[in-house]
Amino acid sequence: MKIIQSICTVLGFSFLSLNSFSQSETFRMIEVDIPVLGYAMPQSGGGGILVGFETRYNHSDQLAFGINYQQAIMAGGDEFTSVSALAHYGLVGEYYLNANTFRPFGGLGLSGFAVANVGVSSDFGTIEEIQGGFKPGIVPRIGFELGHWRLAAEYNLIFGTNTYNPSYIAIKTAITIGGGKK
């Protein structure tokens, strides 16, 4: 986890020194989504909330690279209730379909997930399992920006789990600071 944090920090500061390398003719070089707020839906059913932030470097009018941090808390299940807390740090790339005010995009992220899960039986309220650890994952996403407002849907696919699958779908929104038209 410390390695991912270090990489994200180095990349974040590297973005600040890349001003002369930005080839975007229409948009400002750096954009920050803060706060990122959303709804998380685990594969097992149920729901939860997520918060986070994201910083992107607009390499060109169509291509952006960035770093993100996100936390999600989810609960769900029928006869076996599961409560999960996840945090992830990651790198993300996005491709924008146009350079208009309404900008649809698709993207892919590589993330490291810190996962904690407690499973409780609804029969007697006993704790059935506790899982946790650091897991790798990928995050495909689609969405759009409309001026400085952003809406996205992503699937957080987490690898390396045995009995519990913490992967989830997220619908999130944010206000984008910077990154607008020059």
Mean pLDDT split into 10-residue runs, the chain, 182 residues: 64 53 80 93 90 94 95 83 90 96 97 89 69 91 96 94 82 92 80
Q: What is the pLDDT of residue 128?
A: 67
The string of DSSP letters for 101-120 reads: SEEEEEEEEEEEEEEEEEEE
Q: What is the pLDDT of residue 161?
A: 74
The amino acid sitting at 60 is S
Residue with tokens 């994200």: 8
Cβ pair 39, 171 in contact under 8 A: yes
Q: What is the pLDDT of residue 121?
A: 72
Q: What is the pLDDT of residue 153?
A: 98
Q: What is the pLDDT of residue 10?
A: 60
Helix (H) or strand (E) holding 7: helix 2-16
The amino acid sitting at 49 is I
Residue with tokens 């379909």: 97
Cβ pair 178, 43 in contact under 8 A: no
Cβ pair 94, 144 in contact under 8 A: no
Q: What is the pLDDT of residue 24?
A: 78
Count how many residues are written for the chain.
Answer: 182
Among residues 61, 62, 70, 55, the alpha carbon closest in space to that of 10 is found at 55
Structure tokens given for 179: 């990154």
Q: 124 Cβ partners below 8 Å, 6+ apart?
A: none
Structure tokens given for 97: 């379909």
Among residues 84, 89, 17, 87, the alpha carbon closest in space to that of 57 is found at 17
Q: What is the pLDDT of residue 122?
A: 65
- Please state the pTM of the whole predicted model: 0.82
- The CATH fold assigned to 2-178 is Porin (2.40.160)
Cβ pair 171, 153 in contact under 8 A: yes
